[in-house]
Structure 1
C-alpha cells in the first residue's frame, strides 16, 4: 500500500511544506533516455549540482550495499529515489532496483521521476513495484509549445519529431498520471519554466495535471544549457508570477534544490554523495561510457 499524501508531507523532503527535515538517496541506475529535451545536458562528473548529472551509473544490484552505507552516513534518510540520469522507464533498471529495495529496505519510501513517455503503458509495473510517490516532468500540455522544448521522442523504436512527437508524449503523460493517481500513488509534477516559451502556459499545465490527479506542482527555473543555452533564465518576478498562476489549481512545492541524480543526505543541509560514490568514481574511459550509455532510446 503506497504512503498517503498526508504521510508524505511529513516524511518526504519533496512533499513537506516546512522545508526538508528528512534525507534521501538518489540512485543513478538509468543511463538512457527516450526524449531529446532541448534544455537537457546529462553528464558524468562530481562538480555540477543539477539534474541529469551523476558521478557514475550503477546496476540495480550495486544499489543495495550503497544504501546500507548511506544510512550509516546519514541516518535521516527515509527516501530511496531514482531520478536518472536518463529516464527511469526507458530501461528496466529502475523497476528492478525498487523491487530489490522493497525486499531489503521495506521501511524506505520509494520515489521515482520520469518524463512520462512510457508512463501509461508501464503504469501497472510502477504500481506492482510498490512505489510511494511519482514525479512526472510536464513542460506543456499544448503540443505546439512542447515541440519547442524537445526535438524528438524515441517511441517503440521510432524517432518522432516535432508536434507529432509532442502529441504522443503529452497524451501518454496525462493518461499515465491518471492511472497512477487512481491507484493511490501520490504524484508531483515538475515543469521547467522557460519564460519565452511556456511562461503564459503555466496555469493551463497546472490545471490539467491537477484534473488528471497530481497533488503537488514544482516550477523549476531553466538552467540555460544545451540547445537552450542562449535562453534567458527566469527572473524572480517571472517565477513568482508562474507560481501565482499555478497556485489557483494545485498545491505548490517551493524548495527545490536542483538535486543531482546521485544526491545523498538532507536537501540543503548535508550532502554525502562524493563520499558514498567514491568507489564508483569515473574511470579513464569516461568518454566511452558517456557515448554508450547516455544515448536516446
Structure 2
C-alpha cells in the first residue's frame, strides 16, 4: 500500500502512545468518559461504571458532562504536559452520544494542537462521519471482531439502529456493513485507522487472520488483537494465553501492523500506557446507573 500520509500525520502518530510502541514511553493519553449510551450489546461486555477497582474498557468512576471534561482536561494537561492525545472511548459508544461532539468542540477551541482520537463500534460511523471531520478527529479506532456474519452473530446479542432492535444474523450483517463502510470512508478521508479485535477462543480465533487481510485491503494502519476478558455471556470461555495471542498477531503481521503493547484501558484512563493515574487521582463525584440501551433509539 502506497504511503500517502502527510508529514504532520506521521509526526502525530509518532506521538500517539497507542499507534507507536516507542511513543508509549514518552507520550500519554487522556480518555474522557462523556459517552454512557451504547447501541449494541456485545456478549463479552459488562459495563459497570461506578467501579474504581476494575481496569478494563467500559469502566469509569464517573460520567462527565462536556464542560466537566474540559475542566478535567485543563487540569490534567497542566499537571502532565507529556499527554499528547485526547480520546473518547466510552463507557458506551461515543458516536451514540451527542456529548462526544460538544466535548471535542470545547477541547479543540482551547487546545487546538492536541490530537483528538475516538474509539467506536462503528455502527454509526457512516452516519456521523461528517461530524467527526468537522471535529478534526484524526485518529480513529473501530472495534471489529469479524466480517463473517455467522461469526459476528455469536459475539453480539443485539443492535439498536434507526429506532429498531436487530438480533441474530440480521444484527450482525447490519453492524458489519456499517463498520466496513465507515472504515473505508475514514481511510479515504486521510484518517489513521486502528482496529481493535477481541480474540475469543472457539468463536473468532480462526477468523482473525482473514480479518487482517480484509483490513489490509481497506488501508487500515494498525490492528490490536486483544485477549478476551471473560465476563457477561462469555464468562465461561477461557481467555487466550499470551502465547496464543502472539501466534495470531504474528500471523496477522504480514497484512496489518500489530499493536502489541495494549493494556485494555479504562474509559477514564490517563497518563502513560501501563501507568494509569485515573484510579489513584480521580475522586468519584456522583452516582449513576449503567446505561445499556441507546438513548437515541430509546426515544423512538
Q: Does 1:107 align with 2:107?
A: no
Paired position in structure 2 for 1:239: 245
Q: Structure 1 residues 168, 74: CA separation in 2 closer, same or farther (over 3 Å shift)? A: same
Q: Secondary structure at the match of 2:197?
A: strand
Deviation at residue 246 of structure 1 after TM alignment:
1.1
Matches within 5 A, 1:24-63: 24-44=29-49, 45-63=51-69
User: Where do 4+ consecutive residues of structure 1 move more than 6 Å?
Assistant: none
Q: Gaps spanning 5+ residues in structure 1: where?
A: none
Q: Secondary structure at the match of 2:100?
A: helix
Alignment equivalent of 2:27, drawn from 22, 31, 38: 22
Alignment equivalent of 1:189, drawn from 192, 195, 201: 195
Q: Structure 1 residues 40, 142: CA separation in 2 closer, same or farther (over 3 Å shift)? A: same
Q: Structure 1 residues 242, 92: CA separation in 2 closer, same or farther (over 3 Å shift)? A: same
Q: Secondary structure at the match of 1:126?
A: helix
* TM-score, structure 2 as length reference: 0.92
The Cα offsets for residues 14-56 of structure 1, whole Å up to 9 and x where unpaired, read as 0113251201110000011000000001112111110000000
Paired position in structure 2 for 1:12: 16
Q: Does 1:76 align with 2:75?
A: no
| Equivalenced residues, count | 289
CA contact (8 A) 1:257 1:267 kept: yes
Cα distance in 2 for residues equivalent to 1:43 and 1:3: 40
CA contact (8 A) 2:184 2:218 kept: yes
Cα distance in 1 for residues equivalent to 2:265 and 2:89: 9
Q: Secondary structure at the match of 1:195?
A: coil
Paired position in structure 2 for 1:163: 169
Please provide the CA RMSD for this pair: 1.7
Cα distance in 1 for residues equivalent to 2:23 and 2:73: 23
Q: Does 1:199 align with 2:214?
A: no
Q: Secondary structure at the match of 2:209?
A: helix
Q: Structure 1 residues 254, 77: CA separation in 2 closer, same or farther (over 3 Å shift)? A: same
Paired position in structure 2 for 1:290: 289
Deviation at residue 237 of structure 1 after TM alignment:
2.5
CA contact (8 A) 1:202 1:245 kept: no
* TM-score, structure 1 as length reference: 0.93
Q: Does 1:65 align with 2:63?
A: no
Deviation at residue 241 of structure 1 after TM alignment:
1.7
Q: Structure 1 residues 4, 165: CA separation in 2 closer, same or farther (over 3 Å shift)? A: farther
